[in-house]
Amino acid sequence: MLRYMASRPRPQVPWLDEYAEACKIVEYNLSPGKLTGYDCPICRNKGNLIGIDDAGKQVLWLCSCREKRQIIRNAHSSNLGELLQKRFSNFRIEEDWQKVMVKAARDFAAEGGKGWLAMLGQTGCGKTHLCSAAANQLLNMGRKVVYMLWTTDARQLKRLSMEEVYDRMFDRFRKADVLYIDDLFKGKITDADVQLCYDLLNFRYNDSRLTTILSSELSLEQIQAVDGAIAGRIRERCGKNFVTVSPDPNKNWRLRQN
Ligand SMILES: [Zn+2]
């Protein structure tokens, strides 16, 4: 039977080749790939699909999940940890004055994080939540965020002695697309802290493409007292994205009794 079929000339049906080609495309598009981190129902984790362009030629389409995977990778490498859960949608506005904070952070994020954002002053009023929510929104826009908790990361940097190691570690923060410094100058402030902060912020001040998000329990006046150049750069780069919560026990969530 097979020999009989082999001896027969192949039928010259014009659409048969196209049909075979279409079958191969469908087979490829339905086959699973090996990409991880996100389960894509469109490309089945291959990152691409074969399509046909207007001229009838096969083309490789890149799947939109590549961006999603990149965002997930960026989130993992941001060091934000549990702060990745902080969103504007899960921030509870309990007082009118908090609306000002939310608006500043929201507007900043909605504009793609142009310039800097600073939330200063009173502890426990939601500064970290809102700065994190803004950072998360920028992550979702495809930007690379690096989280720096001043109390631990600055201490670690100051301990590094080998120049090469220090530079590499420092560059992770200094050159980050979006750097979020949480609790700047918390605790005892040494000359080394001031120098580190100045080197970091001055580098970022000189490159307007870099976005910086800051939270600190200190007011601008208190930062000014520590170092005028640092305070001046923060104020200038933040522009309208600048919020200070004045000390008031009623504004401290952690101190609230109800
Ligand atoms: Zn996909």
Contacts of residue 28, Cβ cutoff 8 Å, sequence gap at least 6 = 49, 50
User: Which has more confidence, 86 or 9?
Assistant: 86
pLDDT of residue 18: 80
Q: What is the DSSP letter of 83?
A: G
Model confidence at 115: pLDDT above 50:
yes
pLDDT number for residue 11: 61
Between CA 249 and CA 258, with CA 253 as vertex, the angle to 5 degrees is 95
User: Ligand 1 centroid vs 72 CA: distance in angstroms?
Assistant: 14
Cβ contacts of 254 within 8 Å, gap of 6 or more: 123, 124
Cβ 157 vs Cβ 169: under 8 Å: yes
For strand 58-62 and strand 178-182, is the pairing parallel, antiparallel, or unpaired?
unpaired
**What tokens appear for 129 in the block?**
């939540």
CA distances from 12 to 8, 20, 94 (A): 12, 13, 76
CA atoms lying within 13 Å on the CB side of residue 37: 15
pLDDT digit string, tens, across residues 208-253: 999 999 999 999 999 999 999 999 999 999 999 999 888 766 655 4
Q: For residue 12, what pLDDT is reported?
A: 67
- pTM value? 0.82
| Structure-token pair, residue 164 | 């090469």
- The dihedrals phi and psi of 116, each to the nearest 5 degrees, come to -115, 160
- Whole-number Å distance, alpha carbon 33 to ligand 1 midpoint, is 9
Give the confidence band of 256 by pLDDT, cuts at 50, 70, 90. very low
Sorted by where each starts, the structural domains of the chain and their CATH numbers stand as: 13-68 (no CATH), 78-255 (3.40.50.300)
Buried b (16+ CB within 10 A) or exposed e, 8-44: eeeeeeeeeeeeeeeeeeeeebeeeeebeeeebeebb
Q: Are 114 and 237 in contact (CB under 8 A)?
A: no
Residue 112 has pLDDT above 90, yes or no: yes
Report pLDDT digits (tens) over 126-173. 899 999 999 999 999 999 999 999 999 998 888 887 777 778 889 999
pLDDT of 56 reads: 84
Tally of CA atoms within 13 A in the half-sphere of 94 that contains its CB: 11
Q: How far is the CA of 207 from the centre of ligand 1 (A)?
A: 35
The residue whose two tokens read 């989280």 is 147
**How far away, in angstroms, is 29 Cα from ligand 1 center?**
10
Share of the chain above pLDDT 90, in %: 69
Q: How far is the CA of 88 from the centre of ligand 1 (A)?
A: 28
Give the Å distance between the CA of 84 and the centre of ligand 1.
Answer: 23
Q: Are the C-beta atoms of 128 and 83 separated by less than 8 Å?
A: yes
Q: Lowest mean pLDDT: which of 26-30, 199-203, 205-209, 241-245? A: 241-245
Does the pLDDT at position 99 exceed 90?
Answer: no
Tokens of 14: 């014009």
How many angstroms separate the alpha carbon of residue 68 from the centre of ligand 1?
A: 9
Confidence (pLDDT) at 255: 38
CA–CA gap between residue 107 and residue 244 (Å, rounded): 16
**What mean pLDDT, rounded, does the chain reach?**
88
Q: What is the dihedral of CA 225, 229, 231, 233, to 10 degrees?
A: 180
What sign does the dihedral 168-174-175-181 (CA atoms) show?
A: positive
Average pLDDT over residues 92-98: 83
Q: Is there a contact between 65 and 43 (Cβ–Cβ < 8 Å)?
A: yes
Cα 51 to ligand 1 centroid, rounded to whole Å: 14
